[in-house]
Amino acid sequence: MSFVVKPSLWISSSSSSLLGEDSGFTSRTSKVTFNSRTSGVLKCMGVANPAAEITAYTTRVSRNANMAKLQAGYLFPEIARRRTAHISKHPDAQVISLGIGDTTEPIPEVITSAMALRAKALSTIEGYSGYGAEQGDKKLRTAIASTYYGNLGIEENDIFVSDGAKCDISRLQLLFGSNVKVAVQDPSYPAYVDSSVIMGQTGLFEKDNEKYGNIEYMRCTQENDFFPDLSTVSRADVIFFCSPNNPTGSAASREQLTKLVQFAKENGSIIVYDSAYAMYISDDSPRTIFEIPGAKEVALEISSFSKYAGFTGVRLGWTVVPKELLFSDGSRVAKDFNRIVCTSFNGASNVVQAGGLACLSSVGLKAMEDVVSFYQENTKILVHTFSSLGFNVYGGRNAPYVWVHFPGRSSWDVFAEILEKAHLVTTPGSGFGPGGEGFIRVSAFGHRENVLEASRRLKTLFK
Ligand SMILES: Cc1ncc(COP(=O)(O)O)c(C=O)c1O
């Protein structure tokens, strides 16, 4: 069957990435594919030569039905799309982004020098190396174990170095397969829910309650101190738990995490603990789930250098799978995860791992602390801005995210108002789950002058 596309559906290779996943376009090249058939043969116009007709060929492969369950685009491409539309409407506006949560400050030189040195060495016979161990460089695994899990009984072999926490979320979904039920904090980082949908663990999206069937949404609001009331949570096989939380910025206390570990133990569940923001903790909340006695039998942990060292583009993270963590048949979770990693990943870049090792040297650790302190200062400015305007503000203390309440209003409306009137990009809370409705998330990742300017504009807008 061939199709011809209406001119209104033209797409250039550069604009495709700005479209949400619900757009029906699946290609990043100038070739396009379409998922709906309106009539037998449609007219297709190529961008390079709109006058020429191109007939699109469709395969006989049906679309993965789980992909069709996904709602709209992934949150951040949708925000990028709206930002771009705003810029084209107001080409002279100085748009400031406090939205996506991407780092902005340069990577400390002690870290980039180590990567440069490793890259240079690849041009020599002695310094060249090809594929490394899928689990990561032994020295880096050892350094991660001793730096972050020093006295907690986590060893080098429990650490799997990765190209980032997000990639490992999907690898973990491969590990668990489609027959598990997951629980998530509501609101939470969207990758947990979306990867669960793609894996086929869920039912359809239920429009009336804005939830997917067969996911346990654990409500986290100001009323429960952003920690779920576990007495109302049904059993799930896998509990995704992020602390400090993205987007609420709230870190669970030792007491709360003790309850969570106890809850997992009673239910025979596995906690996937996301500690990507642990270095932002400024009080005595645990930095890792393994500070909680008994956690090694019920939890694994994902983490990342992204928000510590500005590695969002460099890509380096890790997952800890303790040898004590077992499936119901007594087999080790780590053994299966190792198999997944060896099958779907060929190891993190050797250049980047050299950077990771530099991060964990004493100067590297101090340099990362300075980066984190800089963003913590931004956070204080934002918290003060919203508080002084009379808003109820949450988060910020232990995370680079400020969670601001606009009672009775829709998050997307608030997002649109702030973008339209102050040219500031934030993130609508409802994009993180129904529990985020009425909130916006403001990210503290930004140059200082932009954060100060954003603060001025917010004070003008909401005074
Ligand atoms: C909670 C959480 N986990 C994981 C990630 C992804 O981290 P990485 O850059 O290591 O893939 C992010 C990124 O924003 C995040 O907020």
CA distance 97 to 157: 40
Of 104, 304, 401, 443, which is best to mutate to test ligand 1, by the most ligand atoms within 8 angstroms of its C-beta?
A: 304
pLDDT at 452 over 70: yes
* pLDDT (mean) for 138-142: 98
pLDDT tens, position by position, 44-79:
334 445 555 667 999 999 999 999 999 866 678 889
Nearest in space to 349 (alpha carbons), one of 115, 110, 171: 115
Please give the distance, rounded to the nearest whole angstrom, from the Cα atom of residue 343 to the centre of ligand 1. 23
* CATH number for the domain running over 110-362: 3.40.640.10
pLDDT at 77: 82
pLDDT tens, position by position, 89-122:
999 999 999 988 899 999 999 999 999 999 999 9
* pLDDT (mean) for 143-168: 98
pLDDT at 38 over 50: no
pLDDT at 24 over 50: no
Q: What's the chain's average pLDDT?
A: 90
Q: For the chain, give every domain's residue range.
A: 2-106+365-462, 110-362
Please give the distance, rounded to the nearest whole angstrom, from the Cα atom of residue 306 to the centre of ligand 1. 7
pLDDT at 202 over 80: yes
For ligand 1, residues with CB inside 6 Å are 101, 164-166, 189, 242, 246, 274, 276, 304, 306, 312, 317
* pLDDT (mean) for 324-336: 98
Point out the least confidently predicted range of 9-18, 158-167, 206-215, 269-278.
9-18
CATH 3.90.1150.10 fits 2-106+365-462, yes or no: yes
pLDDT at 49: 52
pLDDT at 9 over 60: no
Does the model's pTM come out above 0.85? yes
pLDDT at 186: 98
Equal fold, 2-106+365-462 vs 110-362: no
